Chain A
Amino acid sequence: EVQLVESGGGLVQPGGSLRLSCAASGFTVSSNYMSWVRQAPGKGLEWVSVIYSGGSTYYADSVKGRFTISRDNSKNTLYLQMNSLRAEDTAVYYCARARGGSYWYYWGQGTLVTVSS
């Protein structure tokens, strides 16, 4: 059974850093397209970043230069390193696994990041 479990969310001050983790089971992270998608309170879905099976990474303009997506193959875990956090980064962050490379079929339950002083 495919499972994605996010962790690492919490309260952080503006300008601070946080690292999110997404522990996967039932499949191999490094063989799949994996992404982070976020949702600000009461708002819609916003794609954040993707890492392809070949290792290429891409980011939304809103986080480029501040966030870094990575994976640890030995732990079968996806990460999102978030630096220089802003209030507008406050959201529930979901990790997701693609189906067919273009769509997000499996999702975690999300982890809440709150950026506030």
Chain B
Amino acid sequence: EIVLTQSPATLSLSPGERATLSCRASQSVSSYLAWYQQKPGQAPRLLIYDASNRATGIPARFSGSGSGTDFTLTISSLEPEDFAVYYCQQRSNWPPAYTFGQGTKLEIK
């Protein structure tokens, strides 16, 4: 079973600052990694898929990078609406399973 570990657990930043969130896999997932944003009381929203591709309608300030076991989600300049919890997710091929990281809470400093 592949385990995804996100860091930090909480990130305190101010609007306009750059945010860097990390996701580490216990074994290689190639580039098959996604990032989601979740706000309180809402369903998750897919931001990034295949490690670096933005989903439809996602602003360009969100970018993803990495491959293998180490991945990064970068928000270039934080907007007030970006403060939320972020999850990474991967799919194991066999048996099929979908694993989420434990989440990083991005809070306003």
Contact = CB atoms under 8 A, between A and B. Distances in A.
Interface residues of B, number: 24
A98 B98 CA distance: 11
A108 B15 CA distance: 30
Contacts of B96: 50, 52, 56, 58
Given A60-B97, A102-B91, A45 B44 contact: yes
Interface-centre pick from B43, B49, B96 (highest chain A CB count, 10 A): B43
Contacts of A107: 43-45
Contacts of B49: 99-100, 102-103
A45 B91 contact: no
A110 B90 CA distance: 21
A46 to B, nearest CB: 7
A28 interface: no
B43 A94 contact: yes
Interface string A3-42: 0000000000000000000000000000000010100000
A23 B57 CA distance: 25
Interface residues of A, number: 23
A103 B34 CA distance: 7
Given A47-B100, A50-B96, A56-B96, 9 more contacts: A37-B100, A45-B103, A46-B100, A94-B43, A102-B32, A102-B91, A103-B89, A104-B34, A105-B55
22 contacts: A35-B98, A37-B100, A44-B100, A45-B87, A45-B89, A46-B100, A47-B97, A47-B98, A47-B100, A50-B98, A58-B95, A94-B43, A102-B32, A102-B49, A102-B91, A103-B34, A103-B89, A103-B91, A104-B34, A104-B44, A104-B46, A104-B89
